[in-house]
Amino acid sequence: MTLVSDNVLACVAFLYGDIEPDQTRPAATAFLVGKQIEPNRVRLYAITAGHVITNLQRISNPMIRFNSRSGGSVMFPLDLSRWTHSAHTDLAASEVAGRVLEEAGFVFSWVDPGALVNAEILADWSIGTGDDVFMVGMLNKHPGAERNEPTVRRGGIALIPADPVRVETSPGTFRDIEGYLIELWSMSGHSGSPVFIYPPIGRIPGMHEGGGATPALLGVVQGHFDAAVAVGAAPELGGRDRNTGIAVVIPAHQIAELLMDPALEEEHKRREDGV
């Protein structure tokens, strides 16, 4: 197995909200992706699953937490009205001011625009069933008390379906999306986590802040499949759904398409105008 660098871990941030008044709880994962604006300039965006932002709208005090270079971490409020949702899949994006993160002394990196796996890369690298992948995200049972402590979980591509995948975006609400089926243990808190794959030597995209060879972004965790367990089948499992160990991952090219949404450019102009 390959060591996952601190540079990869640093692209992840954790999302929180108050389930009850003054009781902040871990909610999900987000991560930073760069959009190429000029040859030597990128604009940073936070990416997560769309249903995560929708769910945060139902609770109070949504926050995002980054680690600090001076130790500890910092939470700051999320303006959920500034997030743009994909019309085609369960994704959402919001611009992040990299200069502000830098000046505030946060530890962060971002996924380079060239590191997003698309159909051409899938074909060129012969990515398919059985290839190893790994996820970086929040384990909500241990997000870290003073600092974000992202965990790494490994798995493999179970299927790249020809048909759309039906997912649940809220209780009783379903939609059909493009997705990869990954044998990967996804649980609460992992929604929005990036999933990476190491490409063949000589075809490695880059990730900024530290440099060096890094994996490519295969996609984003949307959720996982549960299987109903028959009551009485086992006393400890009766009446509950059971995680099948299959996660649904939204392909990275959907991020690239979302970042081209005119709504994001309009939001950028509003930010520049101080609106």
Instruction: Tell me the CATH number at 40.
Output: 2.40.10.10
Tell me which residue of 135, 227, 213, 229 sits closest to 180, measured CA to CA. Answer: 135
Nearest-5° angle of CA 159, CA 163, CA 169?
A: 90
pLDDT band at 232 (very low <50, low <70, confident <90, very high): low
Q: Does residue 241 have a pLDDT over 70? A: no
Residue 84 located in a structural domain: yes
115: left (phi > 0), else alpha (psi -120 to 50), else beta? alpha
Tokens of 1: 């197995």
Distance CA 214, CA 4 (A): 9
Residue 216 located in a structural domain: yes
| pLDDT score at 34 | 92
Nearest-5° angle of CA 12, CA 17, CA 23?
A: 125
Tell me which residue of 83, 74, 73, 7 sits closest to 52, measured CA to CA. Answer: 83
Tell me which residue of 164, 169, 25 sits closest to 90, measured CA to CA. Answer: 169
Residue 124 located in a structural domain: yes
Q: Does residue 137 have a pLDDT over 60? A: yes
pLDDT, tens digit, for every residue of 37-67?
877 788 999 999 999 999 999 888 999 999 9
Rounded to 5 degrees, what are φ and ψ at 120?
-65, -45
Distance CA 266, CA 133 (A): 35
**Tokens 């190491």 map to which residue?**
198
| pLDDT score at 208 | 43
Amino acid at 241: D
Report the share of the chain in percent with pLDDT over 90: 60
Residue 177 located in a structural domain: yes
pLDDT, tens digit, for every residue of 149-188?
999 999 999 999 999 999 988 878 889 999 999 999 888 8
H-helix segments, 10-97: 50-56
pTM assigned to the model:
0.88
**Would you say the C-alpha torsion 218, 223, 228, 229 has a positive or negative sign?**
positive
| pLDDT score at 205 | 54
pLDDT, tens digit, for every residue of 62-80?
999 999 999 999 998 999 9
Domain count, the chain: 1
Look at 210 and 69; give whichever has higher pLDDT.
69
Q: Does residue 103 have a pLDDT over 90? A: no
pLDDT band at 211 (very low <50, low <70, confident <90, very high): very low
| pLDDT score at 139 | 93
H-helix segments, the chain: 6-9, 50-56, 98-103, 119-124, 253-258, 262-272
| pLDDT score at 235 | 47
Residue 1 located in a structural domain: no
- Residues of the domain holding 221: 6-272
128-132, 229-233, 244-248: segment of lowest average pLDDT? 229-233
Residue 37 located in a structural domain: yes
pLDDT band at 16 (very low <50, low <70, confident <90, very high): very high
